[in-house]
Chain A
């Protein structure tokens, strides 16, 4: 089908864009990559009266690591992604992959490379699709989104950003200008696993995991985040369940079963709630195990430099990158 008509605006500065958004109000919609919005418009599920194209707005096309990550493992680095940066730009940025490996690990599961060439990371957060990998990545890392309007600028944490199914807290006159993904400290490993019915399709369930260890390989933190198990991304802190143990003694299977019990997935045409709960438990176990392996690599890697990347994790990631690329 063809989309319905709309009035087209093409601002060239953030100020111009904010002016237009304030003027057109709830009738306006921002378009960046359009990889979610245009299908909805083609199917007439969305019919905005005004489209504000931000692709030529200067100063929004960036994806970089801010701050220096300390050699001692202090995590002060933050990945900042501008509103018109494509998934592919983030995915291919070596500094970003080193600072927040989880971003690259999750992005290879976002649709197909052709979609990632155009789709934007900030746009997918604003779209707030419960199957959107980056929603869970932002929630798991405790990231935030910068929103600007003629009324001012505010930064909203992931907890408050995702309101409900396909609903973020962005007001009609606001523009999401950037997303911030904080780096974890140097002893943290991460992983993303998911199951989809077809390559590149929406996940039936997807799980991201972060595992942090101390100098003695004792687990100090273990967290997971989920897509497709509810209207918003779900984060679980499994540290208490895993217990104060070393990596070798962690019972990931039991942790997975615990996680399955915590979730309340829904039922749809692809999976029953019970199947999805089972799947979430199994994927939790896999994601935590993979993240733990990478955390161990960080510790034994020793002189891996300031970026906290070991040969093992780099090799694993590169392999994944090639496979998906």
Chain B
């Protein structure tokens, strides 16, 4: 139950710089299998940014207040700065990179931010995009009040939030008019899943 990386001779593998014990951590991130050997104290946010090179996830306050590092764990938003990567070995994570369409075009929520001028400096935007993506799965047609409440856990220092609230409502609108296609999911024979054409598949 002590989870460590050991070499073929059974010796502990240590981090070259700090001499810390390393742990092999594997995740499915945005539908792609990724892994790295990291110390136990590596935060999930740093694992995504430094070890996997996915710098879309931003780190603001690093104590759970600002929401910039929000990613989706099994579809639910969580603060990546408040988790150790090693705790999520085997997990399925969606970052802001996974909120774009597979062809590289803007995803629904991203498009809504563009349409409504929902960002200025953009630092907080990845956390908003992931949070709103998950929220609209749960509540596809929020009222303005609900939209405001949905983003209450994310801080933005530029916009004054008005255009972000508008972006939530716009994203709901775009989502509703999007063509949805029935595609068979290969991992579960006999079942079909609904997803928007061009949307990146998140589950493996």
Contacts and interface: CB of A to CB of B under 8 A. Distances in A.
Q: Do A and B bind each other?
A: yes
Size band of the interface chain B makes with A: 35 or more
A2 B38 CA distance: 14
A111 B41 contact: no
A214 interface: no
Interface string B118-146: 00000000000001000000110000011
- Chain B's interface: helix, strand, loop or mixed, by majority? mixed
A246 interface: no
Contacts of B64: 35, 38-39, 115
Contacts of A323: 145-146, 149
A7 B12 CA distance: 13
Interface string B43-62: 10010000000000000001
Contacts of A200: 152-153
Interface stretch (B83-91, B94-102, B179-187, B193-201): B83-91
A113 to B, nearest CB: 7
Given A2-B41, A3-B41, A115-B153, A8 B3 contact: yes
A175 B62 CA distance: 28
A324 B142 CA distance: 12
A117 B75 CA distance: 11
A9 to B, nearest CB: 6
Interface stretch (A10-18, A70-78, A292-300, A304-312): A10-18
Nearest to A3: B41
A1 B86 contact: no
A117 B145 CA distance: 21
Contacts of B67: 112, 114
A153 interface: no
Given A8-B2, A12-B1, A42-B62, A35 B40 contact: no
A7 B3 CA distance: 9
B59 to A, nearest CB: 11
Interface string A237-272: 000000000000000000000000000000000000
B41 A113 contact: no
Given A114-B67, A325-B139, 16 more contacts: A2-B41, A9-B2, A10-B87, A34-B82, A34-B84, A39-B64, A42-B62, A112-B152, A115-B64, A115-B82, A115-B153, A117-B76, A117-B77, A117-B78, A323-B149, A324-B149
17 contacts: A5-B39, A8-B86, A9-B3, A10-B1, A10-B86, A12-B1, A51-B40, A53-B86, A112-B153, A113-B153, A114-B67, A114-B79, A115-B82, A199-B149, A322-B146, A323-B146, A323-B149
Interface of A: 1-12, 16, 20, 31, 34-35, 38-39, 41-43, 51, 53, 55, 88, 111-115, 117-118, 199-200, 322-325
